[in-house]
Amino acid sequence: MRVLVLGSGGREHALVRSLSQDPDVTALHCAPGNAGTGALADNHVLDPTDPVAVVELAQRLMAQLVVIGPEAPLVAGVGDALRRAGLLCFGPDAAAAKIEGSKAFAKEIMAAAGVPTAAARVCESTDGINAALDEFGPPYVVKDDGLAAGKGVVVTEDRAVAERHAAECQRVVIEEYLDGPEVSLFALTDGTTVVPLLPAQDFKRAYDDDQGPNTGGMGAYTPLPWAPPGLVDEVVQTIIQPTVDEMRRRETPYTGVLYAGLALTSKGVRVIEFNARFGDPETQVVLDRLATPLGSLLQACAVGGLGSAPALEWRPGAAVTVVIAAENYPGKPTVDDPIAGLEEADAVEGAYVLHAGTKLHKGLPVSGGGRVLDVVGTGPDLAAARAAAYTAAERIRLRGAHYRTDIAAKV
């Protein structure tokens, strides 16, 4: 199978790494990729949100499966264009990807499917915003209705901060605050059958002890030893399957991976948000544990054959990833700084480095985005995996870089 992966982040490097280990994958390409994917796949310069360019590249490469990593190409209709051209695609079409592209649409789907989630109001005026903030009270949860690269949500006790963020959005969803720990669960689906992956937990705030602004994610780990028994089965039965069924009922079948961001509240499991793609950085740890070849799984989703796929197999033990971010992230990050210590980090037993916001300059890796690297540690348990990740992270040298030191610490 000849596979093309679209995207350039740590999620895409994790996908490429897993696909490279699948014996059925005979050719592997990534567009545009990064300094890390280029070691495992052929990188191609491309705007992944350009449907025409993506179709032309896939046809030229004779790709038998196109895997769409980020959300922007999905919302832009790249999946639609590929399917119209007769190409297999992993990822929903634009109508189904709206479940991430619009928070208001996601709430509509959940209401129709009977999926438990936070009470919310969709606001487009100052009066509506103030009324919703009054209704729900602090902590205030304010979400940009559209795509915001994981940074469109503000959770704050400060009314002025909440009002300011709402005013910056054309359309905003204001919700009740959900208490309890958060869990990320990915589920593969061909539009009918649902197959869950391992649950993970990520860390959204920029700094230790969940301080600072929201980011795209500063680290993650799996498994979750504290998760209640039967959690995954409950989420599939009460959240994922009803959502997939509702999308199919609306004649906008959802294929690909549905990411459910969950809160385990005092009143039960509630959906915080849906995403239409693998989450970043949770993908880095979940795929590390997956023993089943990835290519055949993604292909089964694309052709409607997930129901006949064998049960998933998982590697024992644990995985922890630590994100190394550029100076000023999550603000405007500094870029083009040389990255050193990669070989030393990879040499740590049980650890390896995935590239996220990197590029090559004169053949050497430099920073090219906010989240620069994902250092993954593995081991027989979370303590060992965490130790490996941080030992390797300490060997990375990047001017002004920062990372959280408390990923998976409380577990």
Asked if the model's pLDDT at residue 85 lies above 80, the reply is yes
How far is residue 328's CA from residue 326's CA, in Å, rounded to a whole number? 6
- pLDDT band at 214, cuts 50/70/90? confident
Name the H helices within 206-276: 231-235, 241-249
According to the model, what pLDDT value does residue 151 have? 57
Show the tokens assigned to 180: 């309890």
Show the tokens assigned to 396: 């990375």
According to the model, what pLDDT value does residue 249 have? 97
User: What mean pLDDT value characterizes the chain?
Assistant: 95
Task: Specify whether the CB–CB gap between 40 and 274 falls below 8 A.
Answer: no
Asked if the model's pLDDT at residue 147 lies above 90, the reply is no
pLDDT in tens, 237-284: 999 999 999 999 999 999 999 999 999 999 999 999 999 999 999 999
Asked if the model's pLDDT at residue 368 lies above 80, the reply is yes
According to the model, what pLDDT value does residue 218 have? 98
The two counts, helices (H) then strands (E), for the chain are 14, 22
Residue 289: closest CA among 385, 225, 405: 385
Name the H helices within 250-309: 282-289, 294-303
Q: Roughly what angle, to the nearest 10 degrees, separates helices 10-20 and 294-303?
A: 100
Asked if the model's pLDDT at residue 76 lies above 70, the reply is yes
By three-state DSSP, how is residue 184 classified? strand
Q: For 162-185, what is the mean pLDDT?
A: 91
How far is residue 262's CA from residue 86's CA, in Å, rounded to a whole number? 35
**Is the model more confident about 148 or about 259?**
259
Show the tokens assigned to 153: 């949500």
Q: For 394-410, what is the mean pLDDT?
A: 98
pLDDT in tens, 272-327: 999 999 999 999 999 999 999 999 999 999 999 999 999 999 999 999 999 999 99
- pLDDT band at 340, cuts 50/70/90? very high
Asked if the model's pLDDT at residue 127 lies above 90, the reply is no
Quote the longest CA-to-CA distance of the chain: 58
**Is the model more confident about 119 or about 18?**
18
According to the model, what pLDDT value does residue 406 have? 98
According to the model, what pLDDT value does residue 403 have? 98
The percentage of the chain sitting over the pLDDT mark of 70, rounded to a whole number, equals 99
Asked if the model's pLDDT at residue 161 lies above 70, the reply is yes
Give the H/E segment covering residue 144: strand 140-144
Taking the CA atoms of 330, 176, 264 and 279 in sequence, report the sign of the dihedral they define: negative
pTM for the full model? 0.94
According to the model, what pLDDT value does residue 150 have? 55
Asked if the model's pLDDT at residue 178 lies above 70, the reply is yes
By three-state DSSP, how is residue 93 classified? coil
How far is residue 325's CA from residue 14's CA, in Å, rounded to a whole number? 17
Asked if the model's pLDDT at residue 148 lies above 80, the reply is no
